Amino acid sequence: MSRIPLPYNPKVMDLFRNPKNLGKMEDATVVAVAGNPACGDMITFYLKIDEVKQVIEKATFESYGCAANIATSSIVTELIKGLTLEVAWKDITWKKVTEEIGGLPSVKFHCGVLAVGALKRAIRQYFSQKGLENPSWLPKEHTFEEKQALEEEELANTLSKRLKPEAEKK
């Protein structure tokens, strides 16, 4: 009998079926929408921030992505609860999230990158929306994860550029 390895480990499947912190947050301090140019999937990240302490009180998400994206987003919302924005920014990387979830098939790495990218976009957006000066730990340049988690408009542009040469051939 041939054995076909399951693409996802049980932890991913469990979080996919029972994700934590899934859904819209009405009283969010900041909302970030991000999409992945590799697959075109979108995610919305909501953060409730204690603005005096700059601590993340609560995080929720809505995902139109795959199982890996739902599972990694779920784990990100759990990991960042109670962290300062600075610690969340520095400590939550796609590698850490992938480890926490017990590993992902390599073709699914970008799904975790999207989850972390959406978080980073939300944190950056918080400072710009509030008109606050960027703290020293927030780099001017977008990080790898942010570049892979494009805002809605950027994503639409990227995807339409990719589709154009195909359409022109016809």
Does 65 bind ligand FES (CB under 6 A)? Our answer is yes
The footprint of ligand FES on residues 88-127 (CB under 6 A) is 111, 114
Q: How many CA atoms lie within 13 A of 49 on its CB side?
A: 23
What CA–CA distance (Å, rounded) separates 125 from 137?
Answer: 15
Question: For ligand FES, which is the closer residue by CB, 29 or 146?
Answer: 146
Does 13 bind ligand FES (CB under 6 A)? Our answer is no
What CA–CA distance (Å, rounded) separates 17 from 14?
Answer: 5
Length of the chain measured in residues: 170
Closest CA to 102 of 17, 13, 9: 9
Out of 12, 25, 68, 122, name the contact with ligand FES by CB under 6 A.
68
What residues are annotated to the active site?
A: 39, 111
Closest CA to 74 of 38, 31, 21: 21
Does 66 bind ligand FES (CB under 6 A)? Our answer is yes
Min dist. Cβ of residue 81 to ligand FES (A): 22
> Which residues here bind ligand FES, judged by CB under 6 A?
36, 39, 41, 65-66, 68-69, 111, 114
